[in-house]
Amino acid sequence: MKPYPNPLPFVSADEAVSHIKSHSHIHLSSVASVPHALIRALCRRADAGEVEDLRFHHFHTEGPAPYSEPRYEGIFFEQGFFIGPNVRSNVNSGYADYLPVHLGESQKLYRSGAIRLGAALVQVSRPDENGYVSLGTSVDCSIAAIESAELRIAVVNRNVPYAHGDLIHISSFDYLVEDDTPLVTKEFAQPTDTEVLIGKNCAALVEDGDCIQMGIGALPNALAAQLGGHKNLGLHTEMFADGLLGLIKKGVINGAHKKIDRGCVVASFLLGSQEVYSFIDDNPQVLMRDIKYTNDPWVIAQNPNMKAINSATEVDLTGQISADSIGTRIFSGTGGQLEFVRGASMSEGGKSITAFASRTNKGKNKIVPTLNPGAGVVTPRADAHWIVTEYGAVDLYGKSLQERAKLLIGIAHPDDREMLDRSAFERFGPHYHNFSV
């Protein structure tokens, strides 16, 4: 990438955020690419009593999140689209909040004016010779924010990779700040024996030439480790990390059979090691796109044999899938799960797969008679297809409630099956035990 020939008119972070008005909605670029220099400058304004009632919107963010902390009550208020560990306790104690939205529609909140943005704060790469910058590891809904906000501030950071895909011109910004702090990296735990078994059961549902979607973490890495013998896989996903990077480098994921974006990996945001970030830098085989594109079910469905692999916090005996909460406690968010579930379902030869351990780390069963009171249904029972645990995989598509209960009990933890069977009998009556699948 040849550098932009003109010197950039940088200002300090304090100067840039001094133009943000009280009572504004603020967008932050997310995940590994949070503009922490601007957040710290806003905290200095808040500490000086210069600003109040700023509302923050973003996907899950890594690093400090002072905008959610009780000490800034009345000054900052978090209303994130997806909740990460750094704000989870404050959201569940009421000092911050969660705004439910399918991630693919988060950009629509800005573009439609449902949320009127006072400012968009993002991190970008150094500009290319034509003045275009990349949002690097976190395109998400930031392009929509830049298009819609009254004030646009970019942190230009040489550590932000110049990723191909959706770019934006440097002239789109009102103020530029220079900060070369390295992006947040993350190492994920090695898969447990249980996760390895789940990975094997999922991998058995993936065939050569399929296009896949999965998230990040130990379980997706366990699945990726089981796909090393596959051939010609495609990748169209919200996000990916180191587990899938290994498959891309080995040529297992090459996109040879994709109908759209053939030969390319498509994603909207990333979190992982520096190796992942370096890999996407000026790499035309990786397209970092607006979440409007990556998560559109009609776009997803255009690739045949789409296999969407997601997770759950609980699944009840009828196939209702909760993934954003544990009872009334918000854990994460709706994310793009249902968008990929429906996209895969519409894809020719596609499958929607929900994979999780049969029990939590504390020994609580995750296949349950009914969801905990207050739990959010992220994927309705009518959209639930393949369900996978370490004990097997079952397909709920075309199955009645009683059939579903039988199938799900068969992949529950063995010590939970008697309780679940008794609950199904109480729910469906004496004819339930005469039912076979």
- DSSP H or E run through 298: helix 297-300
Contact 227, 378 (CB under 8 A): no
Contact 103, 237 (CB under 8 A): no
Q: Is 238 a known active-site residue?
A: yes
Phi, psi of 292 (to 5 degrees): -60, -35
DSSP 303: S
Phi-psi region of 6 (alpha: psi -120 to 50; beta: other; left: phi over 0): beta
Q: Based on C-alpha coordinates, what's the Rg of the chain?
A: 22
**Distance (Å, rounded) from C-alpha 376 to C-alpha 47?**
37
- Side-chain-side CA neighbours of 109 within 13 Å: the count stands at 23
- Strand partners for 27: 57, 120
Q: How far is CA 284 from the centre of its chain?
A: 23
What is the distance between the alpha carbons of residues 269 and 241, in angstroms, rounded to a whole number?
A: 9
Torsions phi, psi of 416, nearest 5? -100, -10
Pick from 392, 330, 325: nearest CA to 355:
392
Residue of 238, 314, 339, 390 marked catalytic: 238
CA gap 424, 159 in Å, rounded: 55
DSSP 186-208: --PPPPPHHHHHHHHHHHTT--T
Three-state DSSP at 57 gives: strand
Structure tokens at 97: 């909040």
CA dist 409 and 421 (Å) reads 7
- Residue count of the chain: 437
Active site amino acids: 238
